[in-house]
Every structure is written in structure tokens, then in C-alpha cells.
Amino acid sequence: MYPRPIPETAIWQRRVYVLAVVIVLLAWLCPLFAIVLTSFRSTADVMGGNLWGWPTEIGVIDNYRAVFTDTPMARYFLNSLTITIPSVIGVLVLSTLAGFVLSRYRFRGNMLIFALFVGGNFLPHQIMMIPVRDLMVQLDLIDTTAALIIFHVAFQTGFATLFMRNFIAALPDELFQAARAEGASPFQTLVHVVIPLVKPALAALAILIFTFVWNDYFWAVVLTVSDSVKPVTAGLANLRGEWVSAWNLISAGTIVVAVPPVVMFFLMQRHFIAGLTMGAVKG
């Protein structure tokens, strides 16, 4: 039995789809390609106005070395790690505890508390710029890494609690009944039953929160002033000179800043995909 021939219209539809995907991919990659190409340019090219043509002299090694030797980027990088890692840990701990309680225990005000977590996700953080800054000034935390850690933990926990509550609620009730029958305390149930089962969800959430905090620029500018505490996003803006901007160094710094979230994603890609699809298919 011979296979059916593919209709001509279907062939053209596939070609149109492929062309559309290629166009979208090129439009998405063009800015990235431009930044990478600029990071290869020499200072002479930039000073001579060659910002769009092919580099006449490749200065990739000098540019990436100069980012760490001639600029405070190493300090900014360390500051971002100091802010991001504790923020991610704090959000994971608080959201797991809150999600466990809200999903497995019924008490007066349960749905109200959960509604507050959900509602907080729809509140634009920018409108609270002045109150948050005033609060940090009163607490004598302005222009410190602690201010950014506290802010990110507080504002990311709402989304993370919604995320974890839904995952924990999808776990079979029989597991918790068996844990209670064995005499396990709520904390033991959380540690020995819940956490091992939601590790993919925690990995997915860790990547998302890491990316959100690492790439934050708005609050980095609002809550920090001195270079000694600025993260990489605010530090990149400082690389622009008053009269002349070393776009090759700024582009190299941009690539360096983008590396940690990308590396973390690829290292935890399997857990990330499993966490996003967890519970989508039930046996």
C-alpha cells in the first residue's frame, strides 16, 4: 500500500510555518548577535565609529579581561551573588512552609491568606517605590545588600507560595494519611514526604527566582547608591561615561552578566522541565 501524497496546500503551509519560525528566531537573535559582535570590537573601532560593520580588529580577550581589571564589575558580580543566593534560599524556605500549611491544613482565614498571596502578584511593585525606600531609610538599611535581600524575599514569596501550594496540593492524600498513621509530626511530614516529592518544583522555582533577582534593575537603582553594594545590573549602567561610552566593554560586561542564569538553567534543565510539567499528566 503506497503512502498518500501530501497535498500541495499542506506543503505550502509547512513552508510558511518554517519561514515564520526562522523570521522570529532571527529577530530574537539579532540583538544578541549585535552585542556579542560589539564585545569583540577593539577600542579603536568604537572610537572610530565602527559600531555596525565587521570588526577590523578583534579585541575579545582584551575586552573581557578589561571588564574585570579596569572596571568594578568584579565587585558588582560578587554583590549580585551576595544578594541573589540568600534571596533564593529565603524564598524557597518560606514558600515551601507557607505552601505546605495552606494546602494541607484547614483553618479560619486560610483562603483569605492565600488570596493575599495571589493578590500580591497583581500589584505593581513600582508603585511602592517611595514607601519601600522610606522604610529602608527608617530601618537604616538603605544602600545595603540587606535591603535588596529583604525586598526580594518579601516580594517574590507571594508568587513562590502560589507556585508551591499548587504543587503540594496535587500530592496524593494517602501519603499524608500514612505519615499521620506512623506518628510523624507535621515538620517530619514536610521533610520526609513533601520535600523529596517536590524537588523538581523547587528546582524550577529556584531558576525562576534566581533569574528574577539577578536581572532586577529597578530596585537595584532605588535601594542602592554606592558602588560597593550595587549589583551587576546597576553596575552596567555605571560603565557608561559622561562623554564617551566604551561600548565594547559594556557589551562584554553584558555577556558576562548573562552567563550565570544561562549556566544555572542548563545545569538544572532536567529538573526545571520536570518541575514545570509535574502534575500535568495523571496516571
Query: DSSP of the chain, one letter per residue?
Result: -PPPPPPHHHHHHHHHHHHHHHHHHHHHHHHHHHHHHHHTB-HHHHHTT-SSS--SSB-HHHHHHHHHHTSTHHHHHHHHHHHHHHHHHHHHHHHHHHHHHHHH---TTHHHHHHHHHHHTTS-GGGGHHHHHHHHHHTT-TTSHHHHHHHHHHHHHHHHHHHHHHHHHTS-HHHHHHHHHTT--HHHHIIIIIHHHTHHHHHHHHHHHHHHHHT--HHHHHH--STTT--HHHHHHHTS-SS---HHHHHHHHHHHHHHHHHHHHHTHHHHHHHHHTTSS--
Q: Is the pTM of this model over 0.85?
A: no
Given a cut of 80, is residue 112 above it in pLDDT? yes
- Domains of the chain (ranges; CATH) run 11-61 (no CATH), 71-279 (1.10.3720.10)
| Average pLDDT of the segment spanning 146-174 | 89
pLDDT tens by residue, 224-237 = 988 889 999 888 88
Given a cut of 80, is residue 204 above it in pLDDT? yes
Give the pLDDT band of residue 94 (cuts 50, 70, 90): very high
Give the pLDDT band of residue 122 (cuts 50, 70, 90): confident
The pLDDT of residue 282: 43
| Average pLDDT of the segment spanning 248-277 | 78
